[in-house]
Amino acid sequence: MLKPTPQALAAAANALYRIRAVEGPPDPDGRKTVWHQCALGAELISQVDVRGHVFRQELTLIRSYFVWSSDRGVATGQVIEDGPMVNLDAQASPDRLSEALEAFSGYSGEDRYIQHFLKVLRLARDGMPTDDEDSVTSVAPVDAAGRGRTARRWLYAAAALAALGAAAAAVLR
């Protein structure tokens, strides 16, 4: 089996992030699957829990395969030519990790699923733990001053509590 060229890997990576992701309906536990796929041989499947945390991702990049889970970290492998089977490497392959990161080196998009997977691939390549529990796929929008909706909600909640406190103090006098 021929090894894909770096150009073919980059073309597949570039095509993947130009696609709109397809999001499946939540399962009974509230988890959902988000699927990115392109015709050039790249596919990213992300599984997200009810809080919006990614807990598992799989990337196929032509013949290279990568899987990450919050409890097991990153594993790499190779897609078998005759079917949807994968031969996993005994340990995460630094060469595969570097090839994938090189293929996505031109990525400058804002897709949080792709950003997350690239983050865990970088951590794995650098020998760091990849149990990325802080990765949330949905973030409150930020206004022009750089403040998110969450900050405004806290301000409204604090103002409401202060008003309640003042009303309670007036009643108790």
Q: Kindly indicate the confidence band of residue 157, based on its pLDDT and cuts at 50, 70 and 90.
A: very low
* Sequential DSSP letters for 107-132: -----HHHHHHHHHHHHHHTT-----
Structure tokens, 29:
């536990």
Taking residues 94-113, report their average pLDDT: 91
CA atoms within 13 A on the CB side of 128: 9
- Percentage of the residues of the chain whose pLDDT score is greater than 70: 70
Cβ within 8 Å of residue 136, ≥6 positions away: 51, 52, 53
Beta bridge partners of 59: 44, 66
Question: Is residue 61 packed enough to be buried (19+ CB in 10 Å), middle (13-18) or exposed (0-12)?
Answer: buried
Cβ within 8 Å of residue 149, ≥6 positions away: 140, 141
Per-residue pLDDT tens for 43-89? Answer: 999 999 988 899 999 999 988 999 999 889 999 999 987 666 899 99
Q: What is the helix, strand, coil percentage profile of the chain, to 5?
A: 35, 25, 40
Q: What pTM was computed for the model?
A: 0.71
